[in-house]
Structure 1
Amino acid sequence: MERLADRVALITGASSGIGNAIAAAFGREEASVVIADVRREPKLDDERSVFDRLDDVDADYAYVETDVSDEAAVETAVETAIDEFGGLDVLVNNAGIYQQYPVHETPTDAWDAIVDVNLRGVYLGSKAALPHLAASEHGKVINLASIYGLVGGSNSAAYCASKGGVANLTRQMAIDYADDRVNVNALAPGIIKTAQNAEWRANNPEIISEWETLTPWPGFGEPEDVADAAVFLASSESDFITGHVLSVDGGWTAQ
């Protein structure tokens, strides 16, 4: 339970969902954690606060209100890690949004919002953090892509475009920062059961049935499945892995 001891991690979008689980897992592994999110508490009341989860394991943490599409806000988040904990070792670009539209029905403002958070946010976070990660002995970037960054998904034009960009930006950054010994990898989650999509899953049985057919593993994933993979990519166990997009999808993209 000490795989991330003495390391400082900045996680965007960490108040809810997958980010919440990643932050809690990092805390259990003894990292100091900076929660960077537009909100302090989870989006839904039935999801447990990440700060309660970090308190359970006596983790060191800080919160900074952060809109990942705002360059100044992202720079402040990185500065918070440096000021509070003396450095930065791991950046998890997790913040993301999802809206459903085919291209011809996508409002321009929706396209811009999705790309701003999902792709521009990864760029801004990496831009601000990489000089500090290069100075670390354990520099790691973990980007959250998606199965829809590897394969197409219906009615998800802007989301697929943004997550495809994240996947290839991950590969590109891995090349540029290899000499600095900064590992840059991504996670591509499949269907993950979160508090945010619980009501949607309950009310869309036909789509859920289709997704079950597309997922060879018998059941959908939990946020902790993604968090466990993130711990591996943040730890020294992954030091010779860079430029990889790791699918956590129950076999969806294996077909």
Structure 2
Amino acid sequence: MARLADRVAVVTGASSGIGNAIATTFGREGASVVLADVRREPKLESERSVVEKLDEVDAEYTYVETDVTDERDIEAMVETAVSEFGGLDVLVNNAGIYYQYPVDETPTEAWDAIMDVNLRGLFHCCKAALPHLEESENGKVINLSSIYGLVGGGQSGAYCASKGAVSNLTRQMALDYADREVNVNALAPGIVETAQNAEWRETDEDLLEDWQRRTPWPRFGQPEDVADAALFLASDESDFVTGHVLSVDGGWTAQ
């Protein structure tokens, strides 16, 4: 039997990279999926559309144009899940952005943008979704943190701050909602080959070598590696797991 049969899931940032893979995996496992993103098509031309992938597995889905910095968009996203599919069981807060600066060179607007998407947007998505997740018999929140939410990373002050906050907010929410049986966990991906880091992988040889040196596993991650971990956290198999930040990083944070 499909592991997410009869579940309704919202995935933010669903059109590209990790979000694309999570939405596809959830649909393949029987979930009805709300694809929430500022764009319908993926950022990279080489990446297949999540819509095309979901059509192949006959999944139920709908796309909602969603900017997670806009509370009205978030409300519409949640309302769509409830009105079209009858409720909400799983929220995946995947939308995120990353700029690379040391703190003293970080433009204030870059700091604010990262916090607005990675942290404030996640907060508002949780705030809108939790009343519905509490009504579900399978309520799950899955936040996307990062290895840089567990350890420091070079020239990434704003990003590290945002993802560190996501990791600890995950633990805090797990405590608040445990008695209501809503699981709240996070994933902390390492270097995963997505559009977010494609330019650096192609143009910055020194950075690429540093990432390879710091990843003990003999390859970088793929979006599907993170999607498989998200499937576990969305399924019944994780019912006694809450407040955990699961690293999917090829051993980066084990060092």
State the TM-score, normalized to the length of structure 1: 0.98
Tell me what 2:128 maps to.
128
Distance 2:191 2:44 in 1: 19
Give the deviation of 1:196 after TM superposition.
4.4
Give the deviation of 1:66 after TM superposition.
0.6
- Asked whether the equivalents of residues 18 and 194 of structure 1 are also in contact (C-alpha less than 8 Å), the reply is yes
Distance 1:173 1:195 in 2: 30
Distance 1:123 1:33 in 2: 20
Tell me what 1:152 maps to.
152
**What secondary structure, in the 3-state scheme, does the structure 1 residue paired with 2:123 have?**
helix
Render the CA deviation track for 1:104-156: whole Å, top value 9, x for unaligned: 11111110000000001110000000000000000000000000000000100
Distance 2:139 2:122 in 1: 16
Distance 2:202 2:176 in 1: 44
Render the CA deviation track for 1:200-222: whole Å, top value 9, x for unaligned: 21211211111111111111110
Render the CA deviation track for 1:49-89: whole Å, top value 9, x for unaligned: 00000001000000111110111110110000001100000
Specify the code of the residue in structure 1 equivalent to 2:252. Answer: W
Q: Does 1:71 align with 2:86?
A: no
**What secondary structure, in the 3-state scheme, does the structure 2 residue paired with 1:177 have?**
helix
Specify the code of the residue in structure 2 equivalent to 1:52. Answer: E
Is there any run of 5+ residues in structure 1 with no aligned partner, and where?
Answer: none
Distance 1:56 1:109 in 2: 41
Give the deviation of 1:199 after TM superposition.
3.6
Q: How many residues align?
A: 255
**What secondary structure, in the 3-state scheme, does the structure 1 residue paired with 2:228 have?**
helix
Distance 2:53 2:198 in 1: 21
Change (3 A) 1:101 1:21: same
- Asked whether the equivalents of residues 200 and 208 of structure 2 are also in contact (C-alpha less than 8 Å), the reply is no
**What secondary structure, in the 3-state scheme, does the structure 1 residue paired with 2:179 have?**
coil
Where in structure 2 are the equivalents of 1:107-118 lying within 5 Å? 107-118=107-118
Distance 1:57 1:197 in 2: 29
Q: Does 1:179 align with 2:200?
A: no
- Asked whether the equivalents of residues 46 and 195 of structure 1 are also in contact (C-alpha less than 8 Å), the reply is no
Tell me what 1:80 maps to.
80
- Asked whether the equivalents of residues 221 and 249 of structure 2 are also in contact (C-alpha less than 8 Å), the reply is yes
- Asked whether the equivalents of residues 118 and 162 of structure 1 are also in contact (C-alpha less than 8 Å), the reply is yes
Runs of 4+ in 1 over 2 A off after TM superposition: 195-200
- Asked whether the equivalents of residues 8 and 85 of structure 2 are also in contact (C-alpha less than 8 Å), the reply is yes
Which deviates more from structure 2 when the two are superposed, residues 187-196 or residues 2-11? 187-196
Distance 1:164 1:217 in 2: 24
Change (3 A) 1:88 1:237: same
Is there any run of 5+ residues in structure 2 with no aligned partner, and where?
Answer: none
